[in-house]
């Protein structure tokens, strides 16, 4: 069978599986819709959490980013796993014991305030939409490259699939679909990684392969060889980053705390039967996530090594097939600066901005560009970092079925995350805004209907964002983590660990963290992107890492305000007492 | 963040209070290890640790891209196990 036929087959089979599971497990009550009835086994829940968490960004983009960032890429590896330690130790068991459906539920009840609940809902919706737009773009990339359909059609197909199992199945359908999606995506990630590790080092375990010697008789370690080849091209060594230590520190911290504050991750721990299961479940989620996250740095280093050796100093006529395929999709480009017909890689940008292709081809058959050439360096090759994982099997000349598997895995990752986010958005609208704020007398049936309508509307908005990605989408992903770290995390943490925290303190803290972080990111990312350089940053901290300062401000303002205002009422004291002990965690239920 | 534990109001009633204090002590210890392997070994002390190697990995680089994640997993499972024991001790398990 041709590679293309295999791709259709694998993707088709995986979609049929997801839809089958969705029909089999569809939700009948709000409780099943919001928290899967609260009866999911911790290991299954850990797997679903892992699939929910690992988005198109983790599957498709992360290894590519690390490949080009080297040591600096560690911020993602530590940031997106370390957050689970905070979740398991500091938040999950207590939130499960608390026993309602959503993060705004907790904040609204613990701080006895509709204002606090509404602030939490606003944070949540903003965080979730930012995040979901990125997923839809991931779906678009995979469809357009592998299924040979337009990005628009690809996004619409993706929307229909998600609609089917998120709207019908609710949390119950999503949880079991995500278990299947985890299996698909981790298999799809590991198989090429193992093959490539064997090809390059002879060691079948990629985590060990990264620390092994290259198989070419040179007697050099993988990282040593990579450092050396990059330095020959004028780059800094791979194992030594270019970001300042304080920036690496703050970005890692913002990603960790942000992870622990992301509503679609937290809500996962409402679905297990007991408070102690929430701890166990977070542990399993971390194991399933770590499998991919410890493989990613190996994939990254191998990909960079292969990419350099396949492309650098090769004449365009002999360029490998994948190079020309991705050039056709506009994600790779080549300008022959010195007119020698060879592709040279060096440090620096080949031209200004993203590639804009002209009609027609150059003397060697390459696509011509209208961009202004950057003549200050000798780099001739533009490559979109997002393609590294998808192109990896082709670069390593692996068989067609591996490529098909990766396509199915990329879709599984994007769809599972999109579905989880849609559920959080629809729950926030139906439960937190409608039921708890504006229309408390709504029936369970009405609430379930509202949740489904809200999920449908959210899918349409997400799809539109995926088809017409506003230029700022990629720019504002930092928002999601920064805002979660600066707004939701401190409010939840203090709600559990400091009895004296009152509504005035929590609201003031959340608003301070939110406004500070939002303004800082908006200023450097949207309003004045030219000023976004280290010299202008506060304490040398980039917008990606500023959420940590927002968090510190949140804590500080909340504690000061709480000292100056009336302490929380006695029943809140009793509530905090009760969430601190695991005994007596009933089902997740609406109060 | 482990340094906020000092703000915890002293718990009043017997078993629940003792249970909570023991929980906090454990949390402080585990979060300290969490901080040391990631922010410590992977970031602050990386330049120093990179002079040592395990296999082809500079040590600090290994902590940043592999080691810290392994320790994270161990921390969560140790906490789960230990808490179960503490909860049984105070007869507060679920």
Burial A58-67 (b: 16+ CB within 10 A, else e): bbbbbbbbbb
Ramachandran angles phi, psi of A358, nearest 5°: -95, 170
| Helix (H), strand (E), coil (C) string for A200-216 | HHCCCCHHHHCCCECCC
Amino acid A559: pLDDT: 93
CB A121 within 8 Å of CB A428: yes
Domain locations along chain B:
12-89
Pick among A50, A72, A86, A89 to test the B interface (most B CBs inside 10 A): A89
Residues of B in contact with A84 (CB under 8 A): 72, 76
Q: How far is B61 from chain A (nearest CA, A)?
A: 7
Helix spans in A468-589 (H): 477-483, 489-497, 503-522, 547-564, 570-580
Which among A279, A500, A581 is the nearest to B79, CB-wise? A279
Amino acid A38: pLDDT: 62
- Residues A227, A216: Cα–Cα separation, whole Å: 16
Amino acid B1: pLDDT: 41
Amino acid B66: pLDDT: 92
Quickly name the fold that domain A3-306+398-580 has: Sodium/glucose cotransporter (1.20.1730)
Three-state secondary structure call for residue A38: helix
- Residues A328, A349: Cα–Cα separation, whole Å: 20
CB A159 within 8 Å of CB A459: yes
Confidence of residue B65 (pLDDT cuts 50, 70, 90): very high
In chain B, which residue's Cα lies nearest the Cα of A239?
B61
> Quick one: tokens of A222?
């993988």
Amino acid A465: pLDDT: 77
Pick among A72, A79, A82, A280 to test the B interface (most B CBs inside 10 A): A82
Domain locations along chain A:
3-306+398-580, 332-383
CA separation, residue A38 to residues A174, A272, A333, A478, A586 (Å): 13, 5, 50, 32, 9
- Residues A481, A203: Cα–Cα separation, whole Å: 36
The sign of the dihedral angle between the CA atoms of A187, A192, A193, A195 is positive
Question: B90: which DSSP letter?
Answer: T
Ramachandran angles phi, psi of A94, nearest 5°: -70, -40
Three-state secondary structure call for residue A586: coil
Three-state secondary structure call for residue B10: coil
Amino acid B31: pLDDT: 94
Nearest to A494 by CA among B4, B88, B65, B93: B4
Which among B4, B57, B76 is the nearest to A497, CB-wise? B4
Confidence of residue B8 (pLDDT cuts 50, 70, 90): very low
Amino acid A591: pLDDT: 42
Q: How far is B50 from chain A (nearest CA, A)?
A: 9
Place of tokens 């007119």: A339
- Residues A523, A58: Cα–Cα separation, whole Å: 27
Q: How far is A274 from chain B (nearest CA, A)?
A: 7
- Give the ipTM: 0.86
Q: A89 vs B30: CB contact, 8 Å cut-off?
A: yes
- Residues A551, A514: Cα–Cα separation, whole Å: 9
Ramachandran angles phi, psi of B57, nearest 5°: -95, 130
Ramachandran angles phi, psi of A11, nearest 5°: -65, -45
Q: Hey, is the C-beta of B45 within 8 angstroms of any chain A C-beta?
A: no
pLDDT along chain A (591 residues), means of 10: 82 84 73 66 85 81 85 90 91 83 85 88 82 72 71 78 74 81 88 89 88 82 83 81 86 90 82 81 91 92 86 82 80 82 82 79 81 81 81 82 85 81 81 75 79 83 74 61 89 91 91 90 79 77 88 94 88 87 60 42
Residues 194-233, chain A, touching B (beta carbon < 8 A): 207-208, 210-213, 221-224
Amino acid A172: pLDDT: 75
CA separation, residue A229 to residues A226, A234, A494, A583, B14 (Å): 5, 9, 49, 58, 64
Confidence of residue B2 (pLDDT cuts 50, 70, 90): very low
Amino acid A51: pLDDT: 86
Q: A248 vs B43: CB contact, 8 Å cut-off?
A: yes
Q: Hey, is the C-beta of A276 within 8 angstroms of any chain B C-beta?
A: yes
Q: How far is A390 from chain B (nearest CA, A)?
A: 21
CB A25 within 8 Å of CB A166: no
Concatenate the DSSP letters of all residues of A395-461 into one string: HTT--HHHHHHHHHHHHHHHHHHHHHHHHHHHHIIIIIIIIIII-TT--HHHHHHHHHHHHHHHHHH
Amino acid A590: pLDDT: 42
**CA atoms lying within 13 Å on the CB side of residue B90:** 22
> Quick one: tokens of A572?
């809140």
Q: At what angle do helices A275-311 and A42-53 cross, to 10 degrees?
A: 40
Q: A84 vs B93: CB contact, 8 Å cut-off?
A: no
């Amino acid at each position: 069978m041709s590679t293309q036929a295999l791709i259709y087959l694998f993707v088709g089979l995986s979609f049929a599986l997801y839809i089958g599971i969705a029909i089999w497990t569809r939700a009948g009550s709000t409780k099943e819709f919001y928290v899967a009835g609260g009866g999911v086994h911790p290991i299954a829940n850990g797997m679903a959490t892992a699939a929910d968490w690992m988005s198109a960004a983790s599957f498709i983009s992360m290894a590519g980013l690390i490949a080009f960032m080297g040591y600096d890429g560690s911020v993602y590896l530590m940031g997106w796993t370390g957050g689970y330690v905070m979740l398991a130790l500091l938040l999950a068991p207590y939130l499960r014991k608390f026993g309602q459906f959503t993060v705004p539920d907790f904040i609204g009840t613990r701080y006895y305030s509709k204002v606090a609940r509404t602030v939490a809902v606003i944070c949540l919706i903003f965080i979730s939409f930012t995040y979901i737009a990125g997923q839809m773009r991931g779906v678009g990339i995979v469809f357009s490259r592998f299924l040979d359909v337009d990005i628009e059609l690809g996004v619409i197909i993706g929307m229909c699939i998600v609609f089917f199992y998120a709207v019908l199945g609710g949390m119950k359908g999503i949880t079991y679909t995500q278990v299947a999606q985890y299996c698909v995506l981790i298999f799809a990630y590991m198989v090429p990684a193992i093959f490539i590790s064997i090809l390059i080092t002879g060691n079948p375990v990629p985590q060990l392969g990264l620390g092994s010697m290259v198989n070419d008789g040179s007697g050099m370690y993988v990282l040593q060889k990579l450092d050396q080849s990059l330095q020959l091209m004028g780059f800094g060594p791979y194992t030594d980053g270019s970001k300042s230590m304080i920036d690496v520190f703050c970005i890692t911290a913002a990603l960790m705390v942000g992870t622990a504050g992301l509503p679609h991750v937290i809500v996962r721990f409402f679905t297990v039967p007991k408070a102690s299961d929430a701890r166990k479940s977070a542990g399993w989620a971390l194991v399933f996530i770590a499998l991919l996250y410890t493989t990613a740095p190996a994939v990254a280093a191998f990909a960079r090594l292969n990419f350099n050796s396949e492309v650098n100093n090769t004449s365009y006529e002999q360029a490998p097939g994948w190079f020309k395929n991705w050039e056709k999709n506009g994600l790779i480009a080549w300008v022959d600066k010195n007119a020698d017909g060879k592709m040279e890689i060096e440090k620096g940008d080949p031209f200004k901005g993203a590639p804009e292709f002209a009609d027609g081809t150059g003397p060697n058959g390459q696509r011509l560009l209208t961009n202004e050439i950057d003549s200050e360096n000798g780099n001739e090759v533009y490559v979109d970092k997002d393609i590294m994982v998808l192109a990896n099997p082709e670069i390593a000349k692996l068989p067609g079925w591996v490529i098909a598997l990766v396509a199915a895995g990329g879709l599984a990752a994007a769809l599972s995350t999109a579905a989880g986010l849609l559920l959080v958005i629809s729950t926030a609208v139906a439960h937190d805004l409608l039921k708890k704020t504006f229309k408390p007398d709504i029936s369970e049936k009405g609430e379930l209907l509202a949740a489904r309508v809200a999920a449908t509307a959210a899918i349409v908005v997400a799809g539109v964002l995926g088809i017409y990605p506003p230029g700022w989408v990629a720019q504002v992903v930092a928002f999601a983590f920064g805002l979660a770290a600066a707004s939701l995390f401190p409010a939840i943490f203090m709600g559990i660990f400091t009895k004296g925290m009152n509504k005035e303190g929590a609201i003031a803290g959340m608003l301070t963290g939110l406004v500070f972080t939002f303004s800082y990111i908006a200023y450097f990312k949207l309003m004045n992107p030219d000023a976004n350089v280290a010299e202008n940053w506060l304490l040398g901290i980039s917008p990606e890492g500023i959420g940590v300062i927002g968090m510190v401000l949140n804590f500080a303002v909340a504690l000061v305000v709480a000292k100056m205002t009336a302490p929380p009422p006695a029943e809140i004291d009793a509530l905090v007492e009760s969430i601190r002990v695991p005994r007596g965690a009933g089902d997740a239920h609406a109060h | 963040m482990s340094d906020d534990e000092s703000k915890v109001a002293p718990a009043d009633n017997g078993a629940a209070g003792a249970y909570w204090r023991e929980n906090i002590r454990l949390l402080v210890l585990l979060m300290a290890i969490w901080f040391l392997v990631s922010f410590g070994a992977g970031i602050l002390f990386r330049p120093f640790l990179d002079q040592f190697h395990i296999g082809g990995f500079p040590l600090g680089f290994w902590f940043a891209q592999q080691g810290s994640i392994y320790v994270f997993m161990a921390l969560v499972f140790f906490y789960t196990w230990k808490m179960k024991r503490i909860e049984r001790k105070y007869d507060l398990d679920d």
